[in-house]
Amino acid sequence: MKRHVLIYGLIGGILITVLKWSESQFLVVQHSFAVYGGLVAATFAVLGIWLGAKLRGPRERAVAKEVPVELRAGGESFVVDERKRENRKREELGITRREMEILVLVAEGMSNREIAEKLFVSENTVKTHCSRAFDKLGAKRRTQAVQMGKELGLLP
């Protein structure tokens, strides 16, 4: 009896294996382009992720640091004539008064459209002035231009 059960189970297992194999063969033949295309896509995706991580290297983190500034005795701080200093810096960089005016409005957080409405000019004019001011400051983004303007003493 045990022998018959083992033979019956073995034959059943062989039949199931043959059926699964034939099903997979049918799948490969019937949908070969999709199967192989998917395999190639998955291979290149994994390769691209691995290669990108390998070439990129370790990530660097920017660290911001606060530095306390002491006031002079008596609570009075040194006051510079901002107009002279600002004009000198502005002239050294070659920034026009209109570009400076737009840079101040950018620092206030206004969009190009809001600046255009406030100054009664077109939005393209604002974009042109922004672009030229950013180039003269060596900035790529609005936030970077504002930061550089503050560091140079052009913006309050």
Q: Do residues 143 and 112 both lie within one domain?
A: yes
Which pLDDT does position 81 carry in this prediction?
A: 52
Q: Do residues 8 and 47 both lie within one domain?
A: yes
Q: Domain with 92 in it: what CATH number?
A: 1.10.10.10
Q: Is the pLDDT of residue 126 over 70?
A: yes
The count of structural domains within the chain is 2
**In-domain check, residue 13:** yes
**In-domain check, residue 105:** yes
Q: Do residues 84 and 147 both lie within one domain?
A: yes
Q: Do residues 101 and 138 both lie within one domain?
A: yes
3-state secondary structure of 74: helix
**In-domain check, residue 65:** no
Q: What is the mean pLDDT of the chain?
A: 77
Which pLDDT does position 124 carry in this prediction?
A: 92
**In-domain check, residue 66:** no
CB 98 within 8 A of CB 129: yes
Q: Do residues 93 and 140 both lie within one domain?
A: yes
Q: Do residues 87 and 117 both lie within one domain?
A: yes
CB 108 within 8 A of CB 146: no
Q: What percent of the chain has pLDDT over 70?
A: 71
Q: Do residues 48 and 106 both lie within one domain?
A: no
Q: What is the pLDDT of residues 55-89, one digit of tens each?
A: 776 666 666 677 776 655 555 554 545 555 555 66
Q: How far apart are CA 139 and CA 24, in angstroms?
A: 59
Q: What is the pLDDT of residues 93-109, one digit of tens each?
A: 788 888 888 888 988 88
With the C-alpha atoms ordered 103, 107, 113, 114, is the resulting torsion angle positive or negative? negative
Which pLDDT does position 114 carry in this prediction?
A: 92
**In-domain check, residue 18:** yes
**In-domain check, residue 14:** yes
Q: Do residues 83 and 146 both lie within one domain?
A: yes
**In-domain check, residue 113:** yes
Q: Do residues 85 and 33 both lie within one domain?
A: no
**In-domain check, residue 63:** no
For residue 29, what pLDDT band results from cuts at 50, 70 and 90?
Answer: low
The whole domain housing 124 covers 78-151
Q: For residue 111, which of 132, 154, 144, 142 has the smallest C-alpha distance?
A: 142
Q: What is the pLDDT of residues 1-24, one digit of tens each?
A: 677 777 778 888 887 888 787 777
Q: Do residues 147 and 82 both lie within one domain?
A: yes
Q: How far apart are CA 64 and CA 95, in angstroms?
A: 29
* 85-to-54, 72, 90 alpha-carbon distances in Å: 48, 21, 8
CB 149 within 8 A of CB 106: no
Q: What is the pLDDT of residues 42-58, one digit of tens each?
A: 888 888 887 777 777 66
Which pLDDT does position 80 carry in this prediction?
A: 47
Q: How far apart are CA 93 and CA 104, in angstroms?
A: 16
